[in-house]
Amino acid sequence: TASANRMLSALRGVLKAAWKLEQMSAEQYQRAAGIDSIEGETLPAGRALPSGEKNALMAACAADPGPAGVRDAAIIALMAVGGLRRAEVVNLDLSDYDPGTGRLKILGKRNQERETFLSNGALDAVNDWLIIRGDQRGPLFIAINRGDRLIYNRMTAQAFYSMLKRRGDQAGIKEFSPHDLRRTMISDLLDAGADISTVAKMVGHKNVNTTARYDRRPEQAKQ
């Protein structure tokens, strides 16, 4: 249903462009664009990680004595607390983060900027990584080769995904996706009584209905 409605929305956009370019009349545009959206709802995808699984992920990183363990702990803490998308984490630069205040500037979808503030364990995890990373300009989270040598190149999306899968296997937890950490953050905040409009702004959602789709509390209540 969602995919079909996205396609219809794209079609309406093409028709509107054709009307603006005078390639079709207003009547033709209205009749062609008057296709109704499809109604329906699917079960929410993904899952939220309970606190025990989050702790196991962090413990798996802590068991790694090399710099990758510190970096990976910072990434997981950042995603679980900040609700960032995978691409947003990969695209972070050192200049986007203020270690003193925990302020983090994020460039989201459609070039929309937002800010979030790290505190407590997440702040400590990222600052621990900065001690190892140093203050050289470039990506906040950089590549590390098998010899534990820091390479000041941006992590690829595939390397990021593989890292999370490896840490999940080491922690012995059920399979999860990078986006599940975003779902976890949203569910945890809503469960703690945070206002849904505030949560939507924190994660870069224009519509609170999108944020509501991430909430896993109804399924937990059914159980």
- The 10s digit of each residue's pLDDT in 16-65 is 999 999 999 999 999 999 988 888 877 667 888 988 999 999 999 999 99
Mean pLDDT for all residues in the chain: 90
pLDDT on residue 42? 73
Is residue 217 over pLDDT 70? no
Average pLDDT over residues 116-133: 93
Q: Catalogue the E-assigned strands of 135-185.
A: 142-144, 150-154
pLDDT on residue 108? 84
Mark 48-77 as b/e (b = at least 16 C-beta within 10 Å): bbeeebbebbbebbeebeebbbbbbbbbbb
Report the alpha-carbon distance of residue 213 to residue 41 in Å, rounded: 11
Q: How many CB atoms lie within 10 A of CB 86?
A: 19
**Sign of torsion over alpha carbons 86, 199, 42, 2:** negative
Residue 74's φ and ψ, nearest 5 degrees, are -65, -40
Close Cβ partners of 203 (under 8 Å, ≥ 6 residues apart): 83, 182, 185, 186, 211, 214
For the chain, how far is it from start to end, CA to CA, in angstroms? Answer: 26
Report the alpha-carbon distance of residue 67 to residue 144 in Å, rounded: 8
